[in-house]
Amino acid sequence: MKVFVEGVGIVGPGLNGWQASQPVLTGAAPYIDASVVIPPGDLLPPAERRRTGLPVKVSLAVGLEAIVNAQRNAAELPAIFASSAGDGENMHCIFEMLANNGREVSPTRFHNSVHNAPSGYWSIATKSMEPSTSLACYDESFVAGLIEAATQTLASGNAVVLIAYDATYPLPLHAARPISATFGVALVLAGKKTNRSLAELEIGISRKSNASTSVANAELEAMRIGTPAARSLPLLAALATLTSEKTQTQDKIIPDRIYFDYIAGNQLDVVVRPC
């Protein structure tokens, strides 16, 4: 499958948006660990905004950034949401409620517990009537989302936005399912090259024969390993290299072929080419 990247959004520890993150991803600037900063947004009505948890805020922020960078209209794009397990903080609160004798679960908590809650808030915020898909595939959730997004844009001929996100869990859930960082990434993909295109992705699935591609920075690599949505970091680094105005030294050039682990002994191969 060949698709074209038109816009990118990113939020994570020390990664505050695509423009600011590019020098860090290419190695031109040092990575400085810091708390996640989510840009303020007012697209949701106040009542809905008060009800949203961290995963919804992250997914809205990166999705809108990618669409703005692509110069697209969010209301016109089908959306694919990919997350390993959704809103862990909300699940923790529901489990606490169920552990009490009353077992009275807040309707808002219950509403936010469904896996497609972010897509619902997205449709409200963007006024989109386009279809959305919400999926989970454990550690390979970003990879599954990328496959789904590429398939949809090639089948329909329409651009799509892929939004992948994960958030840390509180204890004791963290002990059972450790996720090292809150992280979100979004890509606007199209099936045809346009003047918006940043890079071409050639995507294939094969039997696993190569190790998954890592990133050079040790802290970012730890984030990649520990957070399913951050498995996107090698691809983001390759895209940043293509779009960066700084010349990379030979030892910092990002490989143009990215290998992702996938399910059932398979791997995803992504060749990143300039447009």
- Separation of alpha carbons 93 and 109, rounded Å: 8
Q: Is the peptide bond before 172 cis (omega within 30 degrees of 0)?
A: yes
- Supply φ then ψ for residue 31, to 5 degrees: -85, 130
- How many other CB atoms are found less than 10 A from the CB of residue 241? 23
In a domain, 191, yes or no: yes
Number of domain units in the chain: 1
Domain span at residue 156 reads 2-199+215-254
Q: Report the CATH number at residue 228.
A: 3.40.47.10
Question: Residues 6 or more apart from 198 whose CB is under 8 A from it?
Answer: 4, 5, 6, 7, 8, 239, 242, 243, 275
205 is a domain residue: no
**Residue 151 predicted with pLDDT over 70:** yes
Alpha-carbon separation of residue 260 from 25, 115, 150, 230 (angstroms): 18, 24, 15, 12
For residue 57, being part of any structural domain is answered with: yes
Structural domain contains residue 204: no
Residue 191 carries which side chain, given as an amino acid letter?
Answer: G
Calculate mean pLDDT across residues 116-139.
95
Summarised one tens digit per residue, pLDDT across range 187-231 is 999 999 999 999 999 999 999 999 999 999 999 999 999 999 999
| Any domain includes 261 | no
Say if residue 53's pLDDT is above 80: yes
Distance between CA atoms of residues 140 and 212, nearest Å: 12
d(CA 162, CA 3): 13
**Does some domain include residue 77?**
yes
Judged by average pLDDT, the poorest of 62-76, 104-118, 261-275 is 104-118
240 lies in some domain? yes
pTM over 0.85: yes
Report yes or no on 28 lying in a domain: yes
Distance between CA 174 and CA 266 in Å, rounded? 28
In SS3 terms, 25-84 reads as HHCCCCCCCCCCCCCCCCCCCHHHHHHCCHHHHHHHHHHHHHHHHHCCCHHHCCEEEECC
Answer whether residue 232 shows pLDDT above 60.
yes
Q: How confident is the model at residue 254 (pLDDT cuts 50, 70, 90)?
A: very low
User: For residues 141 and 83, is the Cβ–Cβ distance under 8 A?
Assistant: yes
